[in-house]
């Protein structure tokens, strides 16, 4: 398995897609029920293949990722050949960017001496979807990139 198996909740949400996937494998509903009972490991393999297909589709479309912790923001833009990073570090230990108050403080003080910025770019390894997936495993979430774009515009000025 290349990524991770979808959760039961995710599989439920993608039930129709899974049915379509099974039909491309020429597996009927009755055969699927029998497979789950008689050969559960084979059924699990089918779920794993389906999970990887879903992850591949999602990751191929990812343009922006964000990983925000108490004092750090790591904002990623996933271009064709490389991943660009805008890193923000809050030097005030009393601020937690995950709270409304902390993010409010940041919006007022983003240009102060209590905030540091770093930009970087990194070429992907052999598989850019794996690179994106690893960031998600480490806590990043897929976004539309509003924060990244805002900082990118500020930096460019």
Q: Looking at the structure, tell me whether residues 80 and 122 fall in a common domain.
A: yes
Q: Find the domain containing 20 and state its range.
A: 8-61
Report the C-alpha gap between 90 and 99 in whole angstroms.
Answer: 13
Q: What is the pLDDT of residue 157?
A: 66
Q: Looking at the structure, tell me whether residues 99 and 145 fall in a common domain.
A: yes
Q: What is the pLDDT of residue 66?
A: 97
Q: What is the pLDDT of residue 156?
A: 72
In this prediction, the residues of the chain whose per-residue pLDDT falls under 70 are 157
C-alpha separations of 126 from 51, 123, 131 in Å: 21, 9, 9
Report the C-alpha gap between 19 and 29 in whole angstroms.
Answer: 8
pLDDT, one tens digit per residue, over 113-138 is 999 999 999 999 999 999 999 999 99
Q: How many domains does the chain have?
A: 2
Which of 61, 84, 106 delimits the end of a domain?
Answer: 61
Q: What is the pLDDT of residue 25?
A: 87
Q: Looking at the structure, tell me whether residues 68 and 139 fall in a common domain.
A: yes
pLDDT, one tens digit per residue, over 142-157 is 999 999 999 888 877 6
pTM above 0.75, yes or no: yes
Helix residue ranges, H only, 39-99 = 40-61
């Amino acid at each position: 398995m290349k990524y991770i198996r979808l959760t039961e909740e995710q599989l439920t949400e993608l039930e129709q897609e899974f049915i379509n996937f099974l039909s491309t494998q020429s597996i009927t509903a009755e055969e699927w029920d029998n497979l789950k009972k008689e050969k559960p490991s084979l059924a699990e393999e089918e779920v794993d293949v389906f999970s990887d297909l879903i992850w591949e589709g999602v990751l191929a479309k990812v343009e922006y990722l964000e990983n925000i912790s108490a004092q750090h923001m790591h904002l990623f833009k996933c271009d064709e050949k490389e991943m660009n990073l805008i890193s923000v570090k809050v030097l005030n230990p009393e601020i937690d960017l995950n709270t409304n108050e902390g993010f409010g403080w940041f919006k007022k003080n983003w240009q102060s001496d209590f905030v540091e910025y770093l930009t970087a770019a990194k070429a992907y390894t052999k598989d850019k979807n794996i690179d994106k997936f690893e960031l998600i495993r480490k806590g990043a979430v897929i976004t539309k990139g509003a924060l990244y774009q805002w900082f990118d515009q500020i930096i460019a000025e």
